[in-house]
Structure 1
Amino acid sequence: MKARILQHTAREVAEQLPAITQGHPFGPDHEVFKVRGKMFMLLTDAPGEPVVVLKADPEESEAMPQAHDGITPGYHMNKKHWITLEPGGPLDEEMVRELASESYRLVVAGLPRAEQPVDPEKFGIMGK
C-alpha cells in the first residue's frame, strides 16, 4: 500500500467513528485521534515514511508483526499494546480499516460504561 493512501484510509475510518477528537498534542507532525480523551490512533512519519500507529490486543500485537509484512511493533509506544502499519507492504485498505476500527473498539471497551459511545461487544458487527 502506498504511504499516503495508508494514512488517508486510516484517517477516513477515524473521522467516521462516534465521539472522536483529533489534534496535535505532540507537535504538528503527530496527528492523534482519541475517543473520550483516550488515544486510539497516531499518524506520523517514522523513519521518514508515513505510518499509522494503532492500539492492539496484547496477544495480537505480538503475533501480527510475525504474520504480516507491513506491521511492526508500535513506533515509540508500548510494544505490547500498539502496532505500526507501514507503507510498501501487502496491507490492503480493508485490513487498514479493520485494524483502525478494532483499535477504536479496544479503547472504547476500556472506558467506563457510561462514557462508551458504542457498545464495544457489538461494534463492527453487521455494519456497526
Structure 2
Amino acid sequence: MRLQQAARRAAEALPGSGSSRPFTEKLDVYKVAGKAFLIVTDDPGERIITVKAEPEHGRQLRDAYPLDRYRALSRQDALDLRGRRPGYHRGPDR
C-alpha cells in the first residue's frame, strides 16, 4: 500500500485540500477548491490511484511510464497509476 500512502501524504500536504468518500467506502476523493484531483483506492488487490493531469503532461507521462488514460474526473484527462505487482500488463487507453 505504499503507492496509496504516498499519494495521500502528498495530497494532504497541499494547502486547502480535503478528502471524502462520496462514491464508496473504498475510494478517497481528494479536492482543492471543490475540484477533484486525486482518487485513491483502499483495495489491496487493486493498488490504483487516479490523478488529474493536463492533456500534454499526461501524454508525456504515459509515454515514459506504464500509465493508463482515464476520463472520469470531469472533462479533463486523468492518469491511473498502479502499484507494481507480478504479472501486471498495461491495459488499453480509455
Deviation track 1:26-59 (CA, whole Å, cap 9, x = no partner) reads 111110000111101000268x411110011111
Match of 1:77 among 34, 55, 72: 72
Equivalent residues of 2:49, 2:82 under 8 A apart: yes
Greater helix share, structure number? 1
Aligned with 2:22: secondary structure?
coil
Match of 1:59 among 56, 59, 65: 56
Whether 1:14 and 2:14 are equivalent positions in the alignment is no
Equivalent residues of 1:61, 1:80 under 8 A apart: no
Instruction: Check 1:52–1:44 CA distance in 2 against 1; reply closer, same or farther (3 A cut).
Output: same
Q: Which has the higher contact order (CA 8 A, sep 6+)?
A: 1
Equivalent residues of 1:62, 1:80 under 8 A apart: no
* Structure-to-structure mapping, 1:1-128, within 5 angstroms: 4-44=1-41, 48-69=45-66, 71-74=67-70, 77=72, 81-88=77-84
Aligned with 1:83: secondary structure?
strand
Q: What fraction of aligned residue pairs are identical, expressed as a percent?
A: 31
- Tell me the number of residue pairs that the alignment of Structure 1 and Structure 2 aligns: 83
Which ranges of structure 2 fall in alignment gaps of 5 or more residues? 86-94
Which ranges of structure 1 fall in alignment gaps of 5 or more residues? 90-128
Following superposition, which runs of at least 4 residues in structure 1 exceed 6 angstroms of deviation? none
Give the Cα separation in 1 of the matches to 2:78 and 2:19.
18
